[in-house]
């Protein structure tokens, strides 16, 4: 039988798939969700306070007001010289990176192709981690300063992104799902594109 580690109620409805976990202080995991009201809610269970009924209070819940519809959410150690995560927030036209520990914006980037999916990791021969964005028929990768380091096209609108060692060579490939019922695999080092139609 599973026993809840903590319980609390959110002030807004969570949007589909907009949930991630980040270590914003470099040590403790924090639950992060995007809401239908254009907000990002950050909760740290290790710092929780309890109410008289034994349920967790929302007192420690942090809120970021994006004031736009959130389309994607991720977290990762984007800066190669810092050992803590930042929040990556995608909207229909922008990518926003926020440093929770420093309570500061990292960068704000216009993305005209839109953001349907967002993931954090290393792409191809680029050694530094990137915020990888899937939009309307395109994939882009941005570094910790918001500089575009990677760009490629896809056959249709990107619906999902994942990193996986699909070829069994010990290196992670970028898997891209799109609206044309295809999965594309972008391999490391060389620009090779494969199509696996369903």
Torsion of CA 196, 94, 85, 119, to 10 degrees: 0
Identify any residues that bridge with 22 across adjacent strands, giving them in sequence order.
30
- pLDDT tens string, the chain, 198 residues long: the values are 888 876 777 778 888 889 999 999 999 999 999 999 999 999 887 764 444 444 444 557 899 999 999 999 999 999 988 999 999 999 999 999 999 989 999 999 999 999 999 998 887 678 888 999 999 999 999 999 999 998 888 888 999 999 888 888 877 888 899 998 888 888 753 333 333 333
Angle at the Cα of 33 from the Cα atoms of 29 and 34, rounded to 5 degrees: 150
* pLDDT for res 147: 94
How far apart are the C-alpha atoms of 173 and 185, rounded to whole Å?
6
172: DSSP letter: P
Both tokens of 126, joined, read 């680029």
Architecture in CATH of 14-197: 7 Propeller (2.130)
How far apart are the C-alpha atoms of 154 and 198, rounded to whole Å?
16
On whether the CB atoms of residues 108 and 146 are closer than 8 A, the answer is yes
């Amino acid at each position: 039988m599973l026993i809840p580690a903590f319980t609390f109620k959110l002030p807004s409805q969570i949007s589909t798939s907009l949930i991630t976990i980040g270590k914003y202080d470099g040590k403790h995991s924090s639950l992060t969700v995007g809401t239908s009201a254009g907000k990002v809610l950050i909760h740290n269970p290790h710092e929780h306070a309890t109410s008289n009924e034994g349920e967790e209070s929302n007192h420690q819940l942090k809120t970021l007001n994006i004031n736009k519809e959130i389309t994607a959410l991720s977290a990762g150690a984007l800066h190669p010289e810092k050992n803590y995560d930042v929040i990556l927030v995608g909207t229909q036209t922008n990518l926003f990176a926020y440093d929770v520990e420093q309570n500061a914006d990292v960068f704000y980037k216009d993305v005209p192709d839109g953001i349907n999916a967002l993931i954090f990791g290393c792409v191809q021969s680029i050694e530094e981690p990137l915020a990888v964005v899937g939009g309307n028929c395109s994939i882009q990768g941005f570094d910790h300063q918001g500089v575009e380091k990677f760009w490629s096209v896809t056959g249709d609108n990107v619906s999902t992104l994942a990193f996986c060692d699909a070829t069994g060579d010990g290196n992670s490939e970028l898997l891209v799902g799109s609206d044309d019922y295809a999965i594309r695999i972008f391999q490391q080092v060389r620009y090779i594109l494969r199509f696996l139609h369903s």
